[in-house]
Amino acid sequence: MAAKIARVGVMGGTFDPIHFGHLVTAEGARCEFGLDQVLFLPSGQPPHKDLKEVTPANHRYMMTVLATLTNPYFEVSRIDIDRRGISYTIDSLKCLRQEYGAGTELFFITGADAVFEIMTWKDSKKLLEIAHFIAATRPGFSLEDLPAETRAWIAKHRERFYVLQIPAMAISSTNIRQRVRDGHSIRYLVPQQVDYYIRRHWLYRRERTPI
């Protein structure tokens, strides 16, 4: 019989592209929260984003697979990519709850900016029944900086929220895309295989010119 997985981290993100900040966050959460597995969930059609500005899902999925290959605790799921329409987190978590069963605790991990908007997400009350939420942020983040309404909401559900401070969160996908556009190196910001993949598929560039 397969070993039961009791605590699963679910790394939600657009991953356009995935970078070392995401990988350090996932590994940090795994160690800090005793997770048996971290499942990366690239969004198919990210909520609040114009699809025209997002790299096609299959490229983001492939980069996520390449970046996570060497960590035996990491897996990548296509559920958000293969589901049609907007990738609402509630739909993903319901699906994972069914897959893993009631005995498994789910920890949804993503950037603090996104986590602390959960009150505006689809079916936010149900989300908190299904999973815990880990907000990844740079050191120095303080809940005091959030709007009063958000703080009050978080305080009401404080047993479901955790903050994880990650120095490598200074790396950002937006900055990486800009660096590629400007012809600058992204070495040591993303795994080497992701760097190769970006070059090979001419991602984030205005025209097909060699770097």
d(CA 96, CA 42): 14
**Binding to ligand NAP by residue 59, rule CB under 6 A?**
no
CA angle 24, 69, 164 (to 5 degrees): 20
d(CA 44, CA 82): 7
In whole angstroms, the minimum distance from the beta carbon of 209 to ligand NAP comes to: 25
Q: Report the site for ligand NAP in 134-193 (rule: CB under 6 A).
A: 136, 172-174
**Binding to ligand NAP by residue 82, rule CB under 6 A?**
no
Q: How far is CA 24 from CA 68, 72, 196, 199, in A?
A: 11, 14, 20, 23
State the residue number with the nearest CB to ligand NAP.
111
Nearest of 147, 87, 170 to residue 122 by alpha carbon: 87
Interface residue with ligand NAP among 28, 35, 38, 43 (CB under 6 A) is 43
Interface characters, 1-30, with ligand NAP (x: CB under 6 A): ----------xxxx------xx--x-----
In whole angstroms, the minimum distance from the beta carbon of 86 to ligand NAP comes to: 8
Per-residue burial over 58-78, b = 16 or more CB atoms within 10 Å of its CB, e = otherwise: ebbbbbbbbbbeeeeebebbe
Spatial contact of 30 and 59, defined as CB atoms under 8 Å apart: no
d(CA 76, CA 60): 11
**Binding to ligand NAP by residue 44, rule CB under 6 A?**
no
Interface residue with ligand NAP among 55, 64, 77, 89 (CB under 6 A) is 89
Residue closer to ligand NAP (CB basis): 103 or 139: 139
**Binding to ligand NAP by residue 111, rule CB under 6 A?**
yes
Residues 195, 198, 204, 206: is their CA dihedral positive or negative?
positive
**Binding to ligand NAP by residue 122, rule CB under 6 A?**
yes
Contacts to ligand NAP by CB under 6 A:
11-14, 21-22, 25, 43, 46-49, 87-90, 109-111, 113-114, 121-122, 136, 172-174
